[in-house]
Chain A
């Protein structure tokens, strides 16, 4: 049974300019998350990712559709005993120290005093913040706040953890540490729902990925499934004119990497020949082209680009 089960979910907000029109944040959206997996949610800004997470946590209410977590509707708050959440740009009372923040949110999660006292040093050590336990959080850097936020999301030993941009503001070593924590949690059988702009990170840790654009689910599957459908070709040419670059983007949805290099994703060898014909007809000098493994980033840009053009 899926741990998160969303069926035909729609969320509309009233427009702000007193018009009768409504803004659709999520449009007839369905997805399932299996227990013990890391699920990645991708999408450009305003795609509806945070709205979806907020609905799953009962922070925002759906307009229509069905949302069940641990086989219970989200209106039944008892599921929250088994859930942890790190929101994007979280804000904790800045007069508290790191350990006081964990103590406060641990108790708010329904933990007993004794249990909280045992878990605080464990969590602080896990996120590398033991030395800062007694320091007021107003002195913390962005990366330290992020680590503390992660500890807060894990303090009640949740079975399902929602993380919204968990590595935001964290240095590369910290990111690696957070990735390791996520993989350890997965090995312990926990389920992680991850919202991130960092596609390379999603690619490294997620078992399943959903791509969301303008409130619509565009694609869902494992990273392999999403990236295996098409091959990517990297072209090296002479410097291209602006009008030629525009033509390439519009006709072939290429991704430019400078004036003389671009990627082209396709599953058809005929398309490769077509783009070669086009380049030759425009008298472009082709220095070479290589077939590459399609990254999630290429695929994401390709899919979102197509959606935008459509």
Chain B
């Protein structure tokens, strides 16, 4: 059984059709990249997969481990193992990063029938992961994403992913706003998470990220559909030729 199977997915935002029959299958252990021009539906796909309010599925199916995801609330999907690294991580004043992480990790672990962490044990659990991502204790004591630089926010997303250990990770424009050093730290974080049990979906406009996180499959999303699939060579081709060909086809 595929880890994630998207069949003929149609979705609207504010009544406007954005996804128009998208098909995609991701097996455990695979890294897929979806590339596409602005407005092709990349971010919509990430929000539809995670169940954000206002993103309405009008047709099709999303099966995660064979289970129908569309009927699940966003928090339920996350506890089942769906993770989204946000393009723009949200600032939450008044909630410390540590409390936020512990609440999330414990909710997920409880769902999996695993033991929950007390605050002391959790500090240890997080520190092991934070060190690799160059995240200081000070950052963990601060309110979630408040006053963080772009790079710090993305590293914090990676820490959340590493702590929650999802089955499938969707990374929405994770490279945006990062300089090359920050990009390397983030990419190392992602590569460390690659495993035979886990699937990944990279959503990106530029090929640059794929130099550091090499995908098994590359898809082109245009006008709400996957219009072409290939291996990593397709990303290089897109880098060279741009998306003009697909935009014309779509028009």
- Whether A associates with B in a native complex is no
Binding site for B on A (CB under 8 A): none
Binding site for A on B (CB under 8 A): none
